[in-house]
Amino acid sequence: MQIDWRRDNSLTNFFFNCSSCDIESRITIENFLDNELQKILNVKAEKLNDAIKKGIIKFFEFHGHPALQFRKGIGKIEDGTVIYFRDKIEVIRGFPKIRRTLMLHPTLKNHFNDEIVVEEKMNGYNVRIVSIGDEIVALTRRGYMCPYTTRKAVEILDLSPFFNDYPDYVICGEMVGTENPYVSHYYEEIGNLGFRVFDIRKKVTNEPLSIKKKHKILEEYNLPGVRVFGSFKVDEAAEKVKELIKEIGEDRREGVVMKDPIMEISPLKYTSSRAHDDEIFYAFTYPFDFGKDFFFSRVVREGFQAYEMKEGEEELQKRAQRLGESILFSMISTIKNVASGNQATEDMVIDVENEEEAEEFIQYLHNLGVYAVVHKIKGNKAVIRRIHQATTDKVNNLLNGGLY
């Protein structure tokens, strides 16, 4: 069946051509949900229908074809799931949330079986790369097709051989480096922009390959995986990760993801003190644009880590100093900046062929509700300036005598 998408009545009707019987038909969305989608997703039609009414499932057009985006999780279907209606219905499940432990001991022992594989958690943004029809697209965590990421993924990686052989697989990984419009972080081995695979999953089921199988495929197709720190017995893993996380922090790297070798148990993540501080510094650079949860959760991580590391007086004082400075120095710098008449802005460099590509990315951000402008273009580097309006406005208001 090929769906003929008419925007005007998107929420109530689908028009489609059946490729086998060659008849143009029309199906109401209720019937479509009843007949098709609930079978594929194993979610009841009423739930899906309700989610559409509430705007949790959003219809959009992608390259002339209809598609659905899940803005929240529904049943077992994750937030960020995207469904494309092409010659066949392609379900790209959202990347499952990786839960965090605040204590390595006893959590690792409780949660996993015999063995734990420890991979690096890198500080970038989560990307799913998939093949849809004859295109390869890169989806952000929330399920948006990012034009920059899509272009760069194809540039950085030779993906066609893999997708020719495995069209039903999804490559899940982190886009990292400094020329990255979401999370800019310098990695020695990456430089400007790089991609590291952490999972290969199946399209409809979201089932991940075992770590062994993943590595075999990555090697075969010459795709770069995230760093693997090793495989440890569950009894010794907590101590190993404790040592590791200190080294990782000293290198200003983020943390680890701990996995069941056969990927039957859900992975867990754990992060370095340095990463907490860096995120707190970032959040307090734009304090009124970030949720209060963001800040609280990172501070709580520091408390439990300091406890588990059994830190002495001096180490604790250093941790406290770093934490306090991350909060205060970032905020004071923004207050000074706004007091001088500037806005609270954030510059990100992306690599573009021409001005149009930069503008296309800006348009994409605007569609997401993010206010940004092309600040300048020099050669093939475009500086994208994101304006943190809430922080700019609130700091200005408080500086001018606004009450709190």
Half-sphere exposure of 266 (CA within 13 A, CB side): 11
Torsion over CA: 254, 258, 261, 265 (sign): negative
**x-or-dash string of contact with a copy of itself, 275-314, rule CB under 8 A:** ---------x--x----xx-xxx-xxxxxx-xx-------
Nearer to a copy of itself, 81 or 334 (CB): 334
Helix, strand or coil, per DSSP, at residue 102:
coil
Per the CB < 8 A criterion, the answer to whether 217 and 225 are in contact is no
Nearer to a copy of itself, 18 or 332 (CB): 332
Site for a copy of itself in 329-368 (CB under 8 A): 329, 331-332, 335-336, 339
Can residue 236 be called a binding residue for a copy of itself (CB under 8 A)?
no
Q: Which of 6, 39, 63, 100 binds a copy of itself (CB under 8 A)?
A: 100
- Region from 12-20, 73-81, 106-114, 178-186 binding a copy of itself, contact rule CB under 8 A: 106-114
Taking each helix axis from N to C end, the angle separating 313-339 and 389-399, rounded to the nearest 10 degrees, works out to: 80
- Region from 94-102, 122-130, 208-216, 364-372 binding a copy of itself, contact rule CB under 8 A: 94-102
Can residue 268 be called a binding residue for a copy of itself (CB under 8 A)?
yes
Q: Structure tokens of 315? A: 């180490």
Q: Ramachandran region of residue 157, left (φ > 0), alpha (ψ -120 to 50) or beta? A: beta
- Region from 58-66, 103-111, 135-143, 341-349 binding a copy of itself, contact rule CB under 8 A: 103-111
Cα–Cα distance measured from residue 50 to residue 16, given in angstroms and rounded to the nearest whole number? 23
Nearer to a copy of itself, 128 or 322 (CB): 322
**Greatest alpha-carbon span in the chain:** 78
Cα–Cα distance measured from residue 262 to residue 260, given in angstroms and rounded to the nearest whole number? 5
Cα–Cα distance measured from residue 302 to residue 284, given in angstroms and rounded to the nearest whole number? 16
Nearer to a copy of itself, 69 or 272 (CB): 272
Whose tokens are 């992975």? That residue is 267
- Region from 39-47, 96-104, 125-133, 350-358 binding a copy of itself, contact rule CB under 8 A: 96-104
Per the CB < 8 A criterion, the answer to whether 350 and 180 are in contact is yes
Nearer to a copy of itself, 118 or 352 (CB): 118
Per the CB < 8 A criterion, the answer to whether 123 and 105 are in contact is no
Can residue 398 be called a binding residue for a copy of itself (CB under 8 A)?
yes
Can residue 403 be called a binding residue for a copy of itself (CB under 8 A)?
yes
Helix, strand or coil, per DSSP, at residue 11:
coil
Q: Which residues bind a copy of itself (CB under 8 A)?
A: 99-103, 106-107, 109-111, 268, 284, 287, 292-293, 295-297, 299-304, 306-307, 316-317, 319-325, 327-329, 331-332, 335-336, 339, 398-404
